[in-house]
Amino acid sequence: MTKHRIITRTVLLISFVSFFNDIASEMLYPVLPVYLRSIGFSVLLIGILEGIAEATAGLSKGYFGNLSDLKQKRLPFIRVGYALSALSKPLMAVFIYPLWIFFARTLDRLGKGIRTGSRDAILSDETTREHKGKVFGFHRGMDTLGAAIGPGLALGYLFFFPERYRWLFFLAFIPGLMAILLTLFIREKKKPEPERPSNGIHFLSYFSYWRKAIPGYRLLVAGLLLFTLFNSSDVFLLLAVKEQGLSDIRMIGVYIFYNLVFALMSYPIGWLADRIGLKTMLIIGLALFSAVYFGFGWAGSILVFGILFFGYGLYAACTDGISRALITNLANRGDTATAIGFYTSFSSLMTLLASSLAGLIWFTLGARWMFIISATGVAITVLYFLVAVTRRKPVKK
């Protein structure tokens, strides 16, 4: 009997595609708001831009995940999705007209929506239930390693070419192009012809998946979405650092440190999750999040922030890939992309709501109360998982 290879050629290729794509995206993350302000965007307009972009990503994840399942194809969605995201980078620097910027930024998020469900489904198809934590952990680790390298490259560029933001968008196309080229080497396993016709589905057809999903999936996703309601944008963590008087360099430095912890711990935690149980690891991660957010309410030194961002990196490694692995274990093989798409779609929309509420609480009650309320809400979510989400047998793959 041959030993099952855990990190297959396909898993490795997809992981490197995500690695290069995240280098491209995160090269721009620290400078995007500054660049937009420099070309005349107000804070309000930036907020509207990001809201529309994230809503596009959220809704399209469900639709294209559903379409991928109906067509029983993954690779075309992965290739088109990464290509659109890569092409959007230089497009944002070609013209500075607001409508063009809206188009380019939305194109980037649309690319994410097209590829997400199919990518996670092909990762699920490449492994067994016993190794899901390792595979998704490895992928998230490579993805996040790119997220750590990207801001570092941006800092290096801006050190030599301060305030020359537009060229950075062209440079970001280079790792994006690497991601596109690597998708050409991915091979998809042959599947039987789809039994369900894919023509005639509408944009929100994936909403119906909630009714047909097993109770275990609904309980899991309900808990994850409750958590998302209290998990606002990481921008608020960076703002907390900035409000304590840390320089921009140190602020970006702790963000890179968080991503490095996330990247380096994802695979070991995935390996451990396969041994102790994915649900157990998810609960540990959520408890860590709650503790870290309570800490942010009182943090005031670079040392404390360093400890908290280390804990935040561990939380991410315990939950990000693990939650996707859990979802794929609770979905029928033919519905994997739809199951992922449904969750990530609503998760994106809940994140928008969470960030809006967090901003309102920060503005009216102050930063400390925003962190305390979020931490308390996630502590309640941990109780929900401990009590409501009972152990259920996953669907046979």
CA distance 364 to 353: 17
302 domain residue, yes or no: yes
Can you give the pTM of this predicted structure? 0.86
Domain that holds residue 355: 9-186+213-387
Predicted local distance difference test score (pLDDT) of residue 196: 56
Residue 85 sits in a domain whose CATH number is 1.20.1250.20
Question: In whole angstroms, what is the distance from residue 268 CA to residue 213 CA?
Answer: 31
> What local confidence, expressed as pLDDT, does residue 151 receive?
87
Residue 397: inside a domain:
no
Looking up tokens 């399209």 gives: 60
Token pair 């990464």 is at which residue? 82
Q: How many residues does the chain have?
A: 397
CB count within 10 Å of CB 38 equals 13
How many domains is the chain built from?
Answer: 1
User: pLDDT 10s per residue in the chain (397 long)?
Assistant: 334 688 999 999 999 999 999 999 988 877 777 788 788 877 667 767 777 887 788 889 989 999 998 888 999 999 999 999 999 999 988 888 888 988 988 899 899 999 999 999 999 999 888 999 999 999 999 999 998 999 889 888 888 888 788 899 999 999 999 999 999 999 887 766 655 555 557 677 788 889 889 999 999 999 999 999 999 878 788 778 877 777 777 777 888 899 999 999 999 999 999 999 999 999 999 999 999 999 998 887 878 888 999 999 999 999 999 999 999 999 888 899 999 999 999 998 888 888 888 888 888 898 899 999 999 999 999 999 998 765 554 444 4
The answer to the question of residue 168 being in a domain is yes
Q: Are 279 and 385 in contact (CB under 8 A)?
A: yes
Q: Which residues 6+ apart lie within 8 Å of 258 measured at CB?
A: 309, 310, 312, 313, 316
DSSP-assigned letter for residue 7: S
Residue 196 burial (10 A CB sphere; 0-12, 13-18, 19+): exposed
Instruction: Compute the CA torsion angle 266, 272, 276, 278 (nearest 10 deg).
Output: 20
End-to-end CA distance of the chain: 20
Does the residue 170 lie in any domain?
yes
Q: Are 323 and 282 in contact (CB under 8 A)?
A: yes
With 0-12 CB in 10 A as exposed, 13-18 as middle and 19+ as buried, what is 297? Answer: middle
Measured CA to CA, the distance from residue 241 to residue 300 in angstroms comes to 8
Spatial separation of the C-alpha atoms in residues 124 and 74, rounded to whole Å: 12
Looking at residue 194, what is its pLDDT?
A: 57
Question: Whose structure tokens read 């998809």?
Answer: 188
Residue 38 domain-assigned? yes
pLDDT at 192: 61
Q: Kindly report the number of other CB atoms within 10 A of residue 174's CB atom.
A: 14
Q: Which helix (H) or strand (E) holds 245?
A: none
Residue that is written with structure tokens 């992928």 in the block: 139
Does residue 2 fall inside a structural domain?
A: no
Give domain status of residue 201, yes or no: no
Q: Name the token pair of 323.
A: 């939650």
Other Cβ atoms closer than 10 A to 167: 11
Q: Are 59 and 345 in contact (CB under 8 A)?
A: yes
From CA 282, how far away is CA 382, in angstroms rounded? 9
- Residue 118 pLDDT: 94
pLDDT reported for residue 81:
96
Query: Do the beta carbons of residue 43 and residue 170 sit within 8 Å?
Result: no
Measured CA angle at 215 (ends 124, 223), to 5 deg:
80
Does 53 map to a domain? yes
